Amino acid sequence: MSSGYLLEIACNSATSALAAQQGGAARIELFENLEQGGTTPSSGTIRVAREHLHIPLFVLIRPRPGDFLYSGLEVEIMLRDIEHCRHLGCDGVVIGALTVDGEIDMPVCRELIAAAGPMGVTFHRAFDATRNLPTALEQIVELGAQRILSSGGRKSAAEGVQVLASLVTQAGPRISVMAGAGLNAENIQVVARQSGCRELHASAKTTRHSSMRHRNPALVGLESDWTQSDMEQVAGLVSGLKVG
């Protein structure tokens, strides 16, 4: 981006990823299950996205919704998913694991990062769930991740902008702090300027309405509409970052 900012779009499908690319995104984070914070996408989703994207593709490695305290079996699943991403030629993975006391699970994260090999690594918003953000940042630097996705420990990046600014100062050139959560075309420039974050993360999501003429309203949980990233919203975020 000519503004010096990098916009990553969180995409819950291959269709979302292609829309984000068309809208001007610089990088994709691919996952499924947006409504519960995201989980690892299917093999087919990753493969199709990789074949159709010409911008970097990072894949979320998260075996289930809920907390970031993982069992041995769940760690094995994450290691296998990372291996699969390497095989498919993904550019990076998005990982994170915590201890029962809300600290970075260093042994597990070291395993995950070692499995990533030459791929890039983003530490996801498990960071925001830690008991002490500055301490967690130092641990993630030690692990060797390239960036941390964060809202500053708040509901949205706009609410956590001052914390993000402090984290950016602490991080210096050692690691990138990427602001994410609740960003839109109206607030993304303000958050970028006030936080000092050079990388921004947004979903640019919209509701897609089904073309089905027949629907059964009794099927709760099987509704026909769905959510995906929108090309025009992505373009709006790109434009917002170039303002001023």
Beta-carbon count within 10 A of 66 CB? 11
Contact between 150 and 129 under an 8 Å Cβ cutoff? The reply is no
Average pLDDT of the chain to the nearest whole number: 93
The answer on pLDDT for 243 being more than 60 is no
User: Which is it for strands 147-150 and 120-123: parallel, antiparallel or unpaired?
Assistant: parallel
104-110 CB contacts, 8 Å cutoff, 24+ apart = 104/130, 104/136, 104/139, 104/140, 104/143, 105/69, 105/70, 106/139, 106/142, 106/143, 108/70, 108/75, 109/140, 109/143, 110/143
Contact between 105 and 74 under an 8 Å Cβ cutoff? The reply is no
Contact between 27 and 242 under an 8 Å Cβ cutoff? The reply is no
Domains of the chain: 6-208+220-242 (3.20.20.380)
- The confidence score (pLDDT) of residue 102 equals 97
The number of angstroms, rounded, from the C-alpha of 133 to the middle of its chain's C-alpha atoms is 18
The number of angstroms, rounded, from the C-alpha of 85 to the middle of its chain's C-alpha atoms is 16
List pLDDT tens digits, range 145-155. 999 999 999 99
The answer on pLDDT for 244 being more than 60 is no
The answer on pLDDT for 5 being more than 50 is yes
pTM of the predicted model as reported, rounded to 2 decimal places = 0.92
pLDDT over 90, % of the chain: 83
List pLDDT tens digits, range 19-62. 999 999 999 999 998 888 899 999 999 999 999 999 999 999 99
- The confidence score (pLDDT) of residue 3 equals 62
pLDDT band, very low/low/confident/very high, at 197 (cuts 50, 70, 90): very high
Mean pLDDT of 86-94: 98
- The confidence score (pLDDT) of residue 2 equals 46
- The confidence score (pLDDT) of residue 214 equals 81
Mean pLDDT of 130-159: 98
Write out the H or E segment, with its range, that includes residue 241. helix 231-242
Query: What whole-number distance in Å separates Cα of residue 164 and Cα of residue 169?
Result: 9
